[in-house]
Chains A and B, each alone.
Chain A
Amino acid sequence: MKAALVFLEHYGDELEKGGLGVLSKAASLGDAAGVVLGPGAGTLAARAGAFGAANAYACEDEALSAPLPQPRVDALAALVEKTGADAVLFAASVLAADVAAGLAARLDAGLNWDLTDLVLSDGDLVGKRPALGDTVLVDVGWTSSPRLALVRAGAFDPVESGGSAEVEEFEASFSDFSTLATLVEQTQEEASGPSIEDADIIVAGGRGLGSPEAFSLLEELAGALGGAVGATRAVVDAGWYPYSTQVGQTGKTVSPKLYVACGISGAIQHKVGMQGSGTIVAINKDPNAPIFDFCDLGVVGDIHQIVPKLTELVRSRQ
């Protein structure tokens, strides 16, 4: 890998940590430059230096102010041409997936996604991709340049190295169709405590809780631990808990340091969203629940007994 561009997504005036993690990783493999797109990008791009970027690129065009993918494809395609970068790396997100795939079509470039690691093999970039519900780990490569990659959420932690990056501003011209979609309105979801993407600790609940009311037990435990509450698809579909907390294939992929699964059977749908967690503790009254096959500590028992007691113990330590 000669030179990689890393797309740094931002929300408000913060760079997302997913992109910074990918940047840190890319910088450990070779030359990596951060790319920030949208008004205010210049200031944000300067921060990329602290995470290992030798330089950074910023495009402040107003056409990039809404979080829409297509104008970003134009901007990145222009930057690839300008810099001759041989890799463009993304941390997976709703926006980044669309940008990466649009860029792949535009440049007829290979895109590998859902990568959990990036390594160099004889100087060539190789991605590690878990497949089939993470039962197989596939080594994937590229047959041409530039190499495009989407990295699974939370795969790499940002590493602050304290350097600084020189920011170069660049211009982009936009395709006629790229600016047709427009943002009408943005609604933020009210969230208390950390979001499940950012939380170091997640306490998650499934059908085994028995009722929506039991989620209050999880909220208390999560509160005591300084974590967030997650939910399975089954309980979200049943209306027990908000959609935004859904962990799994059709929900969010999370990788906290600690994941406490309460009354979750461990269906593959859920497993793919949380198995990147550092430590998994599972509490379930069914000793045959599949989750016991991929947790670190499995507890066969009643959530209604164990969780309040655990909350009490955690609180009494503080």
Chain B
Amino acid sequence: MKIAVCVKQVPDATVHKRIDPGTKRLDRSGEGALNPTDLNAVEAALRIKEAQGGEVVLVSLGPEKAMESLRKALAMGADRALLVSDDGAAGSDLVGTSTALARALERVEADLVLFGQASSDGDGAVLWAAVADRLRRPLISQVASLTVDGDSVTGKRQTEHGYDLISAPLPAVIAVSDAINEPRYPSLKGIMGAKSKAQETVTLADLGIDAAHAGEAGAKTAVLELGSPPSRGDQVKIEDDGSAAQKILDYVLERRLL
């Protein structure tokens, strides 16, 4: 079983995130980390590999330094990493990102492609569906539990109304929710071994992608302007002196909320 896990480097949680007013893009110059919910996808892949054997390949799109973050997943137990890195890919929207990832995934020829739930830097938890369409493979997303049985996969998909149990033949694309597992911490041995695992970086040209179809040049969406969100208006803050419950009720009634 060959499992590809799509992961992403995001600004570390401790970095104050900002949008560069010049490029109108997220400033990615600071410390990076592996997107937290991608760890659930890595963990899910490792568990399948441990039960059934096989290989876990990380696939990512990002700046060259993203490889540093990918090493954390190699330390957890992934076997190798494939990073698509190209200045021409900067500013890619969903169309460009899904094209680059799909091309990279075609190279890997995985039986199962896994995604995490959402990236912490504001990408919309939609990428897998675009990649599945480009790969022409069945998709199950928002999967809270997963079983791989021979040549098919079954996922319990969490929806607004409950759970849908969905089955699909392999090869398939699966996006897991963060409820699926608790990701392991890398062992010291894993950390030591990560550096020597295969880490390949490829360009868009290597994948046969025309620069006009990538990055900002190929984007079908655009950031027009940055502004400030409307403020909530006047705030009231009180300390409870025994009358807070009455004051809350008065406040709510005044605004005709009941």
Which A residues form the contact surface with B (CB < 8 A)?
11, 66-70, 73, 93-95, 97-102, 104-106, 108-114, 126, 130-144, 150, 175-178, 180-189, 195, 197, 201, 225, 243-244, 249-250, 252, 257-258, 260, 278-281, 283, 287, 292, 294-302, 305-307, 309-310, 312-314, 317
Question: Is the CB–CB distance between B226 and A97 below 8 Å?
Answer: no
Residue of A nearest to B155 (CB): A181
Residue of B nearest to A292 (CB): B237
Query: Whole-angstrom distance from the CB of B177 to the nearest CB of chain A?
Result: 8
B window 226-242: CB within 8 A of A: 226-230, 232-240
Choose among A68, A109, A138 the residue that contacts B226 (Cβ–Cβ < 8 A). Answer: A138
- Counting residue pairs across A and B whose Cβ atoms lie within 8 Å, the total is 266
What is the total number of residues of chain B having a CB less than 8 Å from a CB of chain A?
Answer: 82
Question: Is the CB–CB distance between A183 and B166 below 8 Å?
Answer: yes
Please report the C-alpha to C-alpha distance between residue A73 and residue B122 in the assembled complex, in whole angstroms. Answer: 24
Q: Chain B contact residues: over half helix, strand or loop, or mixed? A: mixed
Choose among B120, B220, B229 the residue that contacts A135 (Cβ–Cβ < 8 A). Answer: B229
B205 part of interface (Cβ distance < 8 Å): no
Choose among B126, B168, B252 the residue that contacts A113 (Cβ–Cβ < 8 A). Answer: B126
Please report the C-alpha to C-alpha distance between residue A27 and residue B172 in the assembled complex, in whole angstroms. Answer: 38
Please report the C-alpha to C-alpha distance between residue A314 and residue B251 in the assembled complex, in whole angstroms. Answer: 13
CB neighbours (8 Å) of B139 from chain A are 69-70, 98, 102, 181
Question: Is the CB–CB distance between A106 and B220 below 8 Å?
Answer: no
Please report the C-alpha to C-alpha distance between residue A95 and residue B130 in the assembled complex, in whole angstroms. Answer: 13
Interface centre among B37, B224, B235, B245 (most CB of A within 10 A): B245
Choose among B95, B162, B167, B257 the residue that contacts A105 (Cβ–Cβ < 8 A). Answer: B95
Interface centre among A104, A187, A298 (most CB of B within 10 A): A104
Query: Whole-angstrom distance from the CB of B13 to the nearest CB of chain A?
Result: 10
Q: Chain A contact residues: over half helix, strand or loop, or mixed? A: mixed
Question: Is the CB–CB distance between B239 and A301 below 8 Å?
Answer: yes
CB neighbours (8 Å) of B126 from chain A are 97-98, 100-101, 104, 111, 113, 150
Query: Whole-angstrom distance from the CB of B167 to the nearest CB of chain A?
Result: 5
Question: Is the CB–CB distance between B257 and A186 below 8 Å?
Answer: no
Choose among B163, B177, B228, B244 the residue that contacts A301 (Cβ–Cβ < 8 A). Answer: B244
Choose among A102, A141, A280 the residue that contacts B224 (Cβ–Cβ < 8 A). Answer: A141
A-B contact pairs, 13 of them (CB 8 A): A105-B129, A110-B220, A111-B221, A112-B221, A134-B229, A137-B230, A138-B19, A181-B168, A183-B164, A184-B154, A186-B162, A298-B236, A302-B240
Question: Is the CB–CB distance between A110 and B219 below 8 Å?
Answer: yes
9 A-B pairs with least C-beta separation: A301-B240, A110-B220, A101-B126, A309-B245, A101-B129, A113-B124, A110-B221, A105-B130, A180-B138
Give B102-131 as 1s and 0s: 1 = Cβ < 8 Å from A's Cβ atoms: 000000000000000110101011111111
B258 part of interface (Cβ distance < 8 Å): yes
Residue of B nearest to A133 (CB): B17
Query: Whole-angstrom distance from the CB of A138 to the nearest CB of chain B?
Result: 6
CB neighbours (8 Å) of A298 from chain B are 235-238
